[in-house]
A and B are shown apart, each in its own frame.
Chain A
């Protein structure tokens, strides 16, 4: 089993409401956004699959398979609704 890494997580919109907070630090073993989100949804009822979301790492849109570094900021983004 790989060692866990620490990430800062940001939630927006309906995800923030379901998680009950906007930001948190977590330690988890996942090393990609996809793996981290899977771990989060195993703990919390976020009600949305990764396929419905986009993800940003360190304030840039990212792929779900991006190789994360300890301390990275991940933001999970529900479908946007500007305008």
Chain B
């Protein structure tokens, strides 16, 4: 029996319930659906909305062909996709893919294949508007078209990552003249970097547009030096309330530069200047101690999404 196929370009909001109902099939043990939504950031810029310009006559044929080919390839019972055109706001549904098949493997693989092909083969073009009032056409994989073809290869920051520290609240910020708070620090093995926003789960995530301290790098050598200085070998690295504990790198060299680290792009903004709270939190004289050679760490913006993983011995090891 041939697969049920439905493809449409829609200038109006996508009616998900109707589409899902069309995939009902007593022989289908697996239904996978995917919703692609308009994200509020791309490549380090805050996005306020976007416009899809389509070539409808060719898009309808192309979309249908993709669904037919992938349904055959993966043995799907049904495949359906709708792509929006026109103007969309943040959070709006931009593309919907649903497939039905007897078993889950085919449903997952088939829906993924359809989505990837729609992104690259459907004759539709995305124009993003940004919070600063500018806009740009973006190409596949959301690279700005103006930059496409000349994508610069950023220098690699070679460093080992020993620990990732997150906190869900501010202990010092805005507390001048008051006691510090104590939100605690969570040490994790990996963390999601979200371009323009920060580290998922950290107090500075989405703090403010274009924030310079979306993430902070901190040199393990500094922690070791402070431990020696205070003669407190057990001083936890998280006490400094910086995010990424690294070694083998001169952090000061990356101020004002863009770089890659673990495949993710960052922009080094400024030294994370130590404040007087460090004397309270760590020990007397530590504020001035940290002022030597970017000892307070490096504040950076996150330019692309990705996952950071600890790849060196952790503090406990």
List, in ascending order, chain A residues with CB within 8 A of B118's CB.
82-83
Which residue of the partner chain B has the closest CB to A83? B119
List, in ascending order, chain A residues with CB within 8 A of B139's CB.
78-81
CB distance from B237 to the nearest CB of A (A): 40
Interface of A is mostly: mixed
Tell whether, in the assembled complex, residue A14 and residue B125 are in contact, meaning their CB atoms are under 8 Å apart: yes
Taken residue by residue from 52 to 83, chain A's Cβ proximity to chain B (1 for < 8 Å, 0 otherwise) reads as 10001001110000000000000101111111
**CB within 8 Å: A-B pair count:** 75
List, in ascending order, chain A residues with CB within 8 A of B115's CB.
83
Most buried by B among A17, A52, A77, A81: A81
List, in ascending order, chain B residues with CB within 8 A of A81's CB.
119, 124-126, 137-140, 142
Tell whether, in the assembled complex, residue A80 and residue B125 are in contact, meaning their CB atoms are under 8 Å apart: yes
Tell whether, in the assembled complex, residue A80 and residue B140 are in contact, meaning their CB atoms are under 8 Å apart: yes
CB distance from B155 to the nearest CB of A (A): 26
Tell whether, in the assembled complex, residue B148 and residue A79 are in contact, meaning their CB atoms are under 8 Å apart: yes
List, in ascending order, chain B residues with CB within 8 A of A82's CB.
52, 83, 95, 118-122, 124, 126
CB-CB under 8 A for A83 and B36, given A12-B53, A14-B125, A60-B58: yes
Most buried by B among A12, A61, A75, A83: A83
List, in ascending order, chain B residues with CB within 8 A of A12's CB.
53, 55, 123, 125
List, in ascending order, chain B residues with CB within 8 A of A61's CB.
58, 62
In the complex, A10 Cα to B53 Cα: how many Å? Answer: 12
Residues 55-106 (chain B) with a chain A CB within 8 angstroms = 55, 57-58, 61-62, 83, 94-95
Interface residues on A, range: 10 to 19
Which residue of the partner chain B has the closest CB to A54? B123
List, in ascending order, chain A residues with CB within 8 A of B174's CB.
none
List, in ascending order, chain B residues with CB within 8 A of A59's CB.
57-58, 61
B280: CB under 8 A from chain A? no
Most buried by B among A17, A60, A82, A83: A82
In the complex, A31 Cα to B6 Cα: how many Å? Answer: 37
Tell whether, in the assembled complex, residue B148 and residue A83 are in contact, meaning their CB atoms are under 8 Å apart: no
In the complex, A51 Cα to B122 Cα: how many Å? Answer: 18
B149: CB under 8 A from chain A? yes
In the complex, A82 Cα to B32 Cα: how many Å? Answer: 20
List, in ascending order, chain A residues with CB within 8 A of B190's CB.
none
CB distance from A58 to the nearest CB of B (A): 9
B293: CB under 8 A from chain A? no
Tell whether, in the assembled complex, residue B55 and residue A56 are in contact, meaning their CB atoms are under 8 Å apart: yes
In the complex, A61 Cα to B57 Cα: how many Å? Answer: 11
List, in ascending order, chain A residues with CB within 8 A of B123's CB.
12, 56, 75, 77, 80
* Chain A contact residues, CB within 8 Å of chain B: 10, 12-14, 16-17, 52, 56, 59-61, 75, 77-83
Further pairs besides A78-B125, A78-B145: 5, Cβ < 8 Å? A13-B125, A13-B137, A52-B148, A52-B149, A59-B58
